[in-house]
Amino acid sequence: MSRLLTTTPGETAASGRVEAPGTLTEVSALLGGTTGTLLVRGAATKLDWAGRVTDPDLVVDTAALQGMLTHNPADMTASVRAGTPLQVLQETLAEEGQWLALDPPSASVGATVGGLLAAGDSGPSRLRYGGLRDLVLGVTLVLADGTLARAGSHVIKNVAGYDLSKLVHGSLGSLAVIAEVIVRLHPRPPASATAVGPADAAQATAATLALAASPLEPTAVEWVSGDGTETGQLHVRVDGTTASTEAASRGVADLLAGLGIPTEVLSEPAADNAWKAHATTVLGTDDETVVRVAGLPSDLDALARHVSEAAAQAGVGARVISSAALGMHTVRLDGGSAQAHAHVLTGLRTYARARDATVLLRQRPAALDDLVDALGPPPSSIELLRRVKAQFDPTGRFAPGRFRPWY
């Protein structure tokens, strides 16, 4: 039977009971035997993303839905229960020299495989390996009435049936409970090298475009703006064999030097610490407003200048942390009033819309909710999104408010 849990003050706004089913059968029975609204919760690392889900009748906690179901090292595939923390999965796979090629910052605070798929979250290595949507081979979902829906298999080139894994990717728990996930694995690279160097946004943009046009094939290209007038820092990681990594790191250093960016290739312990610090920088703190802007790699310089100017005018602090080669930029706002944060956010949405970029509000102080809507202007695909929601969740059970006011 599922475990009946009690909520911890401040853990979630939920007023209903919390259930933690431990098997697929229990999840199905729970949803089939209840009515009313519900929130699916993994490690609770992304409850603030998009609109807030308030007062659901039931919270389905996936804490007990853990463990790897199968692992085929020769085929490099595995199936896992969705509540399994990514770090736990990685530790298990490491015994066979493999990993799920995913390194989101939230893994360090317990993010689960199902939660990462539902949120569409990724990390620096997405540049080389793709996001989780590219690494999932199949899913088992539990629909609002308890019905099971399965798609995909352990076969990498399987093309049968609807690709439900891509449908739920980024759905933020609004369509179904992700109960089980089949993933494609990769060998752990035998060597890695990270080059770092001081760079402003213009230099980082030029370096990103030059790296993309080169044969160096970096695994990650990340830029973090400096505090105030300080110059930011560029991180470039290459993975592979020892020989190829050494050659690639020299190539990266030479390319960046030609752009006026002196670099240092970090030792393995220093590189590990640098990437851990980078993950912390992306996450931000509870009193900040954190926004993800997805656009073009070539827009980094313009975006950084817009954010700097808007934040200075509003009297708030701002940093940009960019997966530069992916065109995925995180903006953190701190200090100042909620009104000031709202002003910067509204301007950022206007800026992004003019450049066909998207904006996702990932974190904010509660006071900001009364000043701006969580989602901003709807996309051109809004009618399609509404039809998908109506088809999969006709009674509106899942995550009420997550995509308000769109639907």
Sequence spans of domains, the chain:
68-187, 191-272, 284-370
Report residue 211 as tokens: 């790296």
Please state, in angstroms and as integers, the Cα–Cα distance from residue 103 to each residue in 100, 128, 132, 214, following that order: 9, 12, 10, 24
What confidence score (pLDDT) does residue 74 get? Answer: 95
Binned at pLDDT 50, 70 and 90, residue 285 comes out as confident
Degrees, nearest 5: CA angle 129-130-133? 130
Spell 145-172 as b/e; 16+ CB within 10 A means b. Answer: ebeebebbebeeeeeeeebbbbbbbbbb
Return the CATH architecture of domain 191-272: 2-Layer Sandwich (3.30)
Residue among 71, 82, 94 at smallest CA distance from 23: 82
- The pLDDT value given to residue 284: 79
Pairing relationship of beta strands 220-224 and 289-294 according to DSSP bridges: unpaired
Residue recorded with tokens 């946004």: 201
- What pLDDT, in 10s, does the model give residues 45-74? 999 999 999 899 999 999 999 999 999 999
Spatial CA neighbour of 177 closest among 385, 10, 29, 375: 29
Token code pair at residue 190: 């035998």
pLDDT at 3: 44
- Using CA atoms, how far apart are residues 289 and 291, in angstroms rounded to an integer? 7
Report in angstroms the alpha-carbon separations of 3 from 33, 253, 326, 361: 15, 54, 41, 32
Instruction: Indicate if 284-370 has the same CATH topology as 191-272.
Output: yes
Region 156-174 average pLDDT: 81
Topology of domain 68-187 in CATH is: 3.30.465
Q: Coil, strand or helix: which one is 404?
A: coil
Band of pLDDT at residue 161, cut at 50, 70 and 90 = low
More confident residue, 15 or 295: 295
Q: Give the single-character DSSP code of 107.
A: G
Query: Across residues 92-109, what is the average pLDDT?
Result: 96
Out of 3.30.200.20, 3.40.50.300, 3.30.70.890, 3.30.70.600, the CATH code matching 284-370 is 3.30.70.600
CA distance 131 to 101: 8
Single out the residue of 229, 165, 174 nearest to residue 51, CA to CA.
Answer: 174
For residues 377-406, give the mean pLDDT.
94
Task: Place 13 in a pLDDT band, splitting at 50, 70 and 90.
Answer: very low
> Which tokens sit at 161?
């049936």
| pTM, rounded to two decimals | 0.91
Question: How many other C-beta atoms lie within 10 A of the C-beta of residue 199?
Answer: 28
Least confident of 50-59, 146-155, 200-209, 220-229: 146-155
DSSP label at 266?
P
- Quick one: pLDDT band at residue 227, thresholds 50, 70, 90? confident
Q: Is a pLDDT exceeding 90 seen at residue 257?
A: yes
CA distance 30 to 243: 54
Model pLDDT, residue 157: 60
- Supply the mean pLDDT for the chain: 92
Is residue 61 within 8 Å of residue 5, measured between CB atoms?
Answer: yes
pLDDT attached to residue 15: 54
